[in-house]
Amino acid sequence: MAAAVKRAVPVVEAAISAAAADTGPEPRPVVIVEASPLARYGHTDILRHWSDLATGRGQAVWVILPQVGASRGPLLDGVSVQTSPNQYLRVDTAWIDTPTNLIPAAVEGATL
């Protein structure tokens, strides 16, 4: 699996970088929902690059990951994802557990 991830990383990185550089007519974030393989196989440096506040880009890059147990701050496969205090948001479980919050039509401007 490590060899497959190593071969895929340049393609994934290029695709996300291209999406982040897009300066289309409306701003929209690039949302990464499964970044665990990057941490699992030693590629968290890629995430650090996208989270660098000094790096200009056309779109925001968001990484969505679960908050496990009593841990504080973002973790991917037990590896801390370095962020500044303003780059991390804890979402209340009451919001997550409400089914209407998962329906794009229920959120103004949301699309699939």
Q: How far apart are CA 28 and CA 20, in angstroms?
A: 9
Residue 61 DSSP code: E
Confidence of residue 10 (pLDDT cuts 50, 70, 90): very high
Please check whether residue 5 is in contact with residue 41, taking contact to mean a CB–CB distance below 8 angstroms. yes
Q: Domain segments of the chain: what residues?
A: 2-106
Q: What is the pTM of this model?
A: 0.67
pLDDT of residue 70: 66
CA angle at residue 32 from 41 to 20, to 5 degrees? 110
Q: Dig out the tokens for 35 from the structure.
A: 């970044």
pLDDT of residue 104: 58
Q: How far apart are CA 64 and CA 31, in angstroms?
A: 7
